[in-house]
Amino acid sequence: MNRDAIEDLLARMTLAEKLGQMTMSPAGGAKTGPVRGEATTEAIRAGEVGSLLNIWGKAATEGFQKLAVEETRLGLPLFFGVDVLHGHDTVFPIPIAEASAFDPDLWEKTARAAAAEAAADGADLTFAPMLDTARDPRWGRMAEGFGEDPLVGMRFAAAKVRGFQGGDLSSPAAIAATAKHFVGGGAALAGREYAAADMSDRTLHETYLPPFRVAIESGCAAVMAAFNSVAGVPMTANVPLLRGYLREKLGFDGVIMSDYAAIEELIDHGVAADRVEAAALALKAGVDIDMVSGVYLSALPEAISRGIADMRDIDAAVRRILALKMKLGLFDDPFRRIRATKPLPAIDLALEAARGAVTLLTNDGILPFADTVRRIAVVGPLADAKAEMVGPWTLAADPQQCASILEGLRAALPDCDIGFAPGVFIDGQDVGGIIEAQALCEAADLVILCVGEAANMSGEAASRANPGLPGRQQQLAEAVLASGRPVVAVLFSGRPLMVPFLAEKARALVAAWFLGAGAGRAVAEVLAGRVDPAGRLPVTWPRAVGQIPIHFSERPASRPLESDDPFTSKYIDTSNDPLFPFGHGLSYAKVRLDGLQLDRNEFKSGERIRVTVRAENLSSRPAVETVFLFSRDRVASFAPQVLELKDWAKVELAPGETATVAFTLDAEDLACLDAALTPRLEPGDFDILVGLSADRRSLLSARLRCRA
């Protein structure tokens, strides 16, 4: 099958068959939105369906594919799209947890493993990676992405596209990636799912678009338009951003699909009076595939007759869909993935990823706990909760693959007496179990308190106005802390939880997110000191909901809080500081940075700046540290962000070892966006900063002048 053959096919297709190719329908399988009917065998046989979503498994997919290729007039193969966000059979840490590893090789490896598993279940495309920059923990979908920083997002995007698609999209172990949700959902009003986003073009181009640009530069096969509107234009009908930016500016010639029923939801957005107008608007914006709503099939013929839809746009959409199926090898062999051999579960990789995501937030030295500890009380509703360890968005996975924290601890510490009491449920008001839990604590040498969210309290349609401990878990935590025994608190969540009291009162606080198959073992190994906690926060962790949105790269206030003058940008009831800054995470070792050096003190366009810093391991333990490189433009045409992430490097140090960490900055890496939102290097002074987090007070800094 080649481009000429596609043209030949197009010429033979009826309007209904063309609109069928533009229709993606559910067909049983996972429900990921309001149910609006499913593809029937009659519809598939009539050529009215081009792809199916969230149906997997050899038998199911083979049956549908046979129907399409053997019983339709033209025998056009379907493609199967499945949400493979952090694993298919084998569950990896949720993306926000995996981002904590700051390890693009790992990000690529888990995507590749997931692709092979999903492909062997019949998936040809995944609705991933999720590339929404997220700075609002009220928004449940923070769990699904890379966090708050666009540079992390760009590297995450490239790694995931490489991992899912590999070097040959027709390979039976490769699946097409879909960069989603284009764009701006992370800035939804008040962190509420599906709500409108409103931001400047400058912020859009600085913060939200870059991960999508890199995904497309990396060859991503598809893009999914977001549910939300941006500056009053719903993304599903957004001509400037879909046609103008994706197609014309970036030259994206892959498939653009709507999100679930989003084309019909243009009516709810108030920009379409009916399904006909909704279909016409989406087509005009360049949306090729209608996921679930069915309005392309049912309403575009009338839109054509009303003169508000153009047959050329339909043909262009069908060409892109057929080209995708060609790249996937589906014309040569529609069953190539369905009949592929299922790989063995990637349990070792899942454990590696889980180990890299465990993040130690506070530690007064209680961790790693001493060998003398014999009686451990494991308390809380997340302690023995396998099913929660998978986190949101695991469609095919069996939670039984996840060892619970209790199981992980008992396996790691067979000589310890490890008691368990849930105390309370994850949610709900029953406090009847607190007394038993407190009694267990009082008899223990150490308490491990496992609290947080259920897996379904983050992800889609899971915004929380009070993202703290749900139910009566805070009461349990207070009772456990009142026992007077040393308490290590382990948090499970899809977002930062507002728990300043735990940071203050527990002897140590660990972010364990949702770590998937490796959860129990990875957490136990870190608490026992067999693995050094290497996770570093990919998001700023607020102290209070009132600080949200909070992130390290804000623009300066007119009166920054740099003095105790009352007339400065601050709260009168809490600190401006987050509970934990971006990049924060402790290790059991102690690494000191010093000796920041630049190989020049001025530069001009086209030149490179070499930045070096010394990292010394002051401890008797091996250290793995993540060193961050930031910049700050001191004066620019537009108010420059107070800190911009430019690179990071992981460094491993033996006990007592000192190493030099080196970065290379291209001059153009320090460009800002001019009035036309085009990168431009401006003359003037820059700070180059290095540190172990985005806490500006802890950064080493050197001045550099641009002579542009």
Q: Name the burial class of residue 572, with classes exposed (0-12), middle (13-18) and buried (19+) by CB atoms within 10 angstroms of its CB.
A: exposed
**Binder of ligand GLC out of 98, 117, 265, 460 (CB under 6 A):** 460
Residues 335-394 that bind ligand GLC (CB under 6 A): none
SS3 content of the chain, % helix, strand, coil (to 5): 35, 20, 45
Contacts of 650 (CB under 8 A, 6+ apart): 102, 103, 624, 625, 626, 627
- For residues 415 to 454, the per-residue mask of contacts with ligand GLC, x marking binding by CB under 6 A and - elsewhere, is ----------------------------------------
Given the complex with ligand GLC, which of 32 and 483 has the nearer CB atom?
A: 32
Q: Which helix (H) or strand (E) holds 317?
A: helix 311-327
Shortest approach of ligand GLC to residue 127 CB, angstroms?
A: 3
Given the complex with ligand GLC, which of 397 and 508 has the nearer CB atom?
A: 397
- d(CA 647, CA 634) in angstroms, rounded, equals 19
Beta strands 417-421; 602-603: pairing state? unpaired
Shortest approach of ligand GLC to residue 132 CB, angstroms?
A: 10
Given the complex with ligand GLC, which of 97 and 354 has the nearer CB atom?
A: 97
What are the two backbone dihedrals, phi and then psi, of residue 245, each rounded to the nearest 5 degrees? -85, -55
Structure tokens at 426: 């994850």
Shortest approach of ligand GLC to residue 101 CB, angstroms?
A: 23
**Binder of ligand GLC out of 21, 23, 25, 32 (CB under 6 A):** 32
Shortest approach of ligand GLC to residue 180 CB, angstroms?
A: 6
**186 closest CA partner among 178, 198, 177:** 198
Residues 571-610 that bind ligand GLC (CB under 6 A): none
Given the complex with ligand GLC, which of 29 and 163 has the nearer CB atom?
A: 29
Cα separations (Å) of 382 from 140, 284, 388, 514, 578? Answer: 19, 48, 8, 11, 25
- For the question of residue 348 being annotated catalytic, the response is no
Given the complex with ligand GLC, which of 254 and 585 has the nearer CB atom?
A: 254
- Asked whether position 33 contacts ligand GLC by CB under 6 A, the answer is yes
Contacts of 393 (CB under 8 A, 6+ apart): 83, 85, 86, 94, 143, 144, 459, 460
Shortest approach of ligand GLC to residue 88 CB, angstroms?
A: 14
Shortest approach of ligand GLC to residue 305 CB, angstroms?
A: 31
Given the complex with ligand GLC, which of 102 and 127 has the nearer CB atom?
A: 127
The one-letter amino acid at 406: L
Shortest approach of ligand GLC to residue 460 CB, angstroms?
A: 5
Given the complex with ligand GLC, which of 254 and 381 has the nearer CB atom?
A: 254
- d(CA 318, CA 314) in angstroms, rounded, equals 6
Query: Residue 451 forms beta bridges with which residues?
Result: 491
Residue 697: strand, helix, or coil: helix
Question: How many residues sit in the footprint of ligand GLC (CB under 6 A)?
Answer: 10
**Largest CA-CA distance found in the chain, in angstroms, rounded:** 81
Other Cβ atoms less than 10 A from the Cβ of 432: the count is 9
Shortest approach of ligand GLC to residue 193 CB, angstroms?
A: 9
Contacts of 292 (CB under 8 A, 6+ apart): 24, 25, 26, 33, 36, 53, 260, 261
- For residues 629 to 668, the per-residue mask of contacts with ligand GLC, x marking binding by CB under 6 A and - elsewhere, is ----------------------------------------
- Would you say how long the chain is, in residues? 708
**Binder of ligand GLC out of 108, 121, 259, 264 (CB under 6 A):** 259
Structure tokens at 661: 């960490």
- d(CA 434, CA 337) in angstroms, rounded, equals 51
**Binder of ligand GLC out of 21, 51, 54, 617 (CB under 6 A):** 54
Given the complex with ligand GLC, which of 103 and 259 has the nearer CB atom?
A: 259
Contacts of 63 (CB under 8 A, 6+ apart): none
- d(CA 41, CA 628) in angstroms, rounded, equals 55
The one-letter amino acid at 652: E
Q: What is the residue-wise DSSP string for 342-404? A: PPPP-HHHHHHHHHHH-EEEEESS--SPPTT--EEEEESTTTT-HHHHT-S--SS--GGGSPP
Shortest approach of ligand GLC to residue 252 CB, angstroms?
A: 19
Given the complex with ligand GLC, which of 24 and 589 has the nearer CB atom?
A: 24
Shortest approach of ligand GLC to residue 186 CB, angstroms?
A: 13
89, 132, 259, 290: which is the annotated catalytic residue?
A: 259
Given the complex with ligand GLC, which of 53 and 623 has the nearer CB atom?
A: 53
Cα separations (Å) of 422 from 431, 501, 523? Answer: 10, 20, 18
Residues 110-139 that bind ligand GLC (CB under 6 A): 127
Given the complex with ligand GLC, which of 121 and 259 has the nearer CB atom?
A: 259
Q: Which helix (H) or strand (E) holds 298?
A: helix 295-306
Q: Name the burial class of residue 415, with classes exposed (0-12), middle (13-18) and buried (19+) by CB atoms within 10 angstroms of its CB.
A: exposed
Q: What strand order describes the sheet that includes 23-26?
A: 125-126, 79-82, 51-53, 23-26, 290-291
The answer to whether 522 and 407 are in contact (CB under 8 A) is: no
- d(CA 124, CA 83) in angstroms, rounded, equals 11
Given the complex with ligand GLC, which of 32 and 171 has the nearer CB atom?
A: 32
Beta strands 222-225; 229-230: pairing state? unpaired
Given the complex with ligand GLC, which of 97 and 699 has the nearer CB atom?
A: 97
Per CB under 6 A, residues contacting ligand GLC are 32-33, 53-54, 83, 127, 180, 259-260, 460
Please list the active-site residues: 259
